[in-house]
């Protein structure tokens, strides 16, 4: 996690993972709550199980998680089965697994994939090709490789369990040719986001993409323009599931403030792609014909009707004050405003917590996993 006072990273704790879910539970822009970071104050091998417990105890929204082994997946499914016995018709979450590019699955991961498929648990298959390392250097070649890996995984899923829920994933990365650094927020990554959504639409299956993303290591202007450009690319191309809100530094750092800022971006982009409603009422013929020359529309019936609607998006933390008003309020920036909103959410939002009996069962599953190790 980012320590704002020093702009350096510190280990995330279990209660902080839960607070990320609490904030996501409060913000209507988020339809799913993910595991934002693996807690470092628990046993390392069972970190994902503790993280899921913290998330489930702070939200009623569906959850998103990404295990690495068969054993983790088995225990995660046991936990999720406490909330639903019919994952196909009543899914409580989504699981993400990745093949080993190019064209391979690790044994433990493919076994986890088959386990999920047999249980009808919705799964994102997420190839993560790395330009000129695990994929061709050309964008088209990398798209083709990813498509082959996804279609191969889809065939496996449907052979094991016809009709199993399957989501077409995208986690395209690039490399800085001079340094070999891993990147996920380049213009080429955005082209890949668009192509991935188009291919999923062509096959008629749901699409997924990482984002909004940034390779910046702090909450700066680079962070903003990279995140916004990646979000617009995937949202405007019709991507169904977008993850990584709250993350930056190529997905290796998280912060509460970033999660709230990303929610603001999502709010604005959702309005952008929502377009203009040109129904007869909103074309406002009567208002335009009835207004006196040189007068205003402040008391017009449509003004009163739509003043608090979603016709004009309302910001949560962005500045909309002129300079003098902004100066009078102490010259707040968006990070400060996000910090204040985070504080208010954590202090006042009360999500429904886990039932005591379920909480005990979750604890037993985690204990059994740790005993097995």
Let me know if 276 is exposed, middle or buried by CB neighbors in 10 A (0-12, 13-18, 19+).
exposed
Q: Exposure of 75 by Cβ count < 10 A (0-12 exposed, 13-18 middle, 19+ buried)?
A: buried
Q: Is the pLDDT of residue 227 over 90?
A: yes
State the pTM of this model. Answer: 0.95
Q: Which residue has the higher pLDDT, 180 or 153?
A: 153
**pLDDT at 173 (0 to 100):** 85
pLDDT of amino acid 175: 82
Share of the chain above pLDDT 70, in %: 100
Is the pLDDT assigned to residue 373 strictly greater than 90?
no
- CB count within 10 Å of CB 110 equals 17
- Average pLDDT of the chain is 95
The predicted structure's pLDDT at residue 107 = 96
- The CATH H-level superfamily of 2-274+350-372 is Trimethylamine methyltransferase-like (3.20.20.480)
Q: What is the mean pLDDT of residues 344-367?
A: 96
| Region 258-274 average pLDDT | 97
Summarize pLDDT for 230-258 with one digit per residue, the tens.
999 999 999 999 999 999 999 999 999 99
What's the pLDDT at 7?
A: 83
- 55-90 tens-digit pLDDT: 999 999 999 999 999 999 999 999 999 999 999 899
pLDDT of 336 reads 96
What's residue 84's pLDDT? 95
Helix 14-26 crosses helix 334-348 at what angle (to 10 degrees)? 100
Q: Which tens digit of pLDDT belongs to each residue from 100-121?
A: 999 999 999 999 999 999 999 9
Q: What percent of the chain has pLDDT over 90?
A: 92
Question: What is residue 243's predicted lDDT score, i.e. its pLDDT?
Answer: 96
DSSP 207: B
Q: How many CA atoms lie within 13 A of 93 on its CB side?
A: 28
Q: Which residue has the higher pLDDT, 18 or 175?
A: 18
Q: What angle do CA 225, 227, 231 make, to 5 degrees?
A: 115
pLDDT for position 347: 98
pLDDT over threshold 90, residue 270: yes
Residue 145 has pLDDT above 90, yes or no: yes
pLDDT of 133 above 90: no
Q: List 93's β-bridge partners, or say none.
A: 63
* 132 pLDDT more than 90: no
| Residue 42 in this model has a pLDDT that exceeds 90 | yes
Could you tell me if 177 and 166 are in contact, meaning their C-beta atoms sit under 8 angstroms apart? Answer: no
């Amino acid at each position: 996690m980012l320590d704002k006072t020093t702009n350096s990273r510190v280990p995330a704790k279990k209660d902080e993972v839960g607070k990320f879910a609490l904030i996501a539970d409060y913000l209507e822009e988020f339809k799913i709550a993910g595991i934002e970071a693996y807690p470092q104050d628990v046993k390392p091998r069972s970190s994902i199980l503790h993280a899921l417990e913290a998330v489930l105890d702070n939200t009623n929204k569906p959850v998103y998680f990404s295990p690495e082994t068969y054993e983790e997946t088995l225990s995660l499914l046991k936990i999720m089965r406490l909330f639903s016995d019919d994952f196909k018709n009543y899914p409580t979450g989504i699981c993400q697994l990745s093949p080993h590019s190019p064209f391979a699955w690790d044994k433990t991961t493919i076994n986890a994939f088959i386990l999920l498929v047999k249980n009808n648990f919705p799964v994102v298959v997420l190839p993560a090709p790395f330009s000129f390392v695990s994929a061709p250097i050309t964008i088209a070649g990398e798209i083709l490789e990813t498509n082959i890996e996804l279609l191969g995984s889809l065939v496996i899923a449907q052979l094991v369990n016809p009709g199993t829920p399957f989501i077409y994933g995208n986690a395209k990365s690039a490399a800085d040719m001079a340094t070999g650094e891993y990147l996920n927020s380049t213009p080429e990554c955005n082209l890949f986001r668009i192509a991935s959504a188009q291919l999923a639409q062509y096959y008629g299956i749901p699409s997924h993409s990482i984002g909004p993303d940034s390779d910046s290591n702090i909450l700066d202007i680079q962070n903003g323009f990279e995140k916004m450009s990646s979000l617009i690319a995937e949202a405007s191309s019709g991507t169904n599931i977008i993850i990584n809100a709250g993350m930056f530094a190529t997905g290796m750092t998280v912060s509460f403030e970033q999660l709230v800022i990303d929610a603001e971006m999502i709010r604005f982009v959702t309005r952008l792609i929502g377009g203009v409603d040109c129904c007869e009422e909103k074309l406002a013929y009567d208002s335009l014909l009835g207004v006196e020359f040189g007068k205003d529309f402040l008391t017009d019936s449509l003004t009163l009707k739509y003043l608090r609607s979603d016709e004009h998006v309302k910001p949560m933390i962005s500045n909309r004050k002129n300079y003098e008003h902004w100066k009078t309020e102490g010259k707040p920036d968006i990070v400060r405003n996000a910090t204040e909103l985070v504080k208010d959410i954590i202090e006042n939002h009360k999500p429904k917590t886990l039932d005591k009996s379920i909480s005990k069962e979750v604890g037993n599953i985690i204990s059994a996993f740790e005993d097995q190790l």
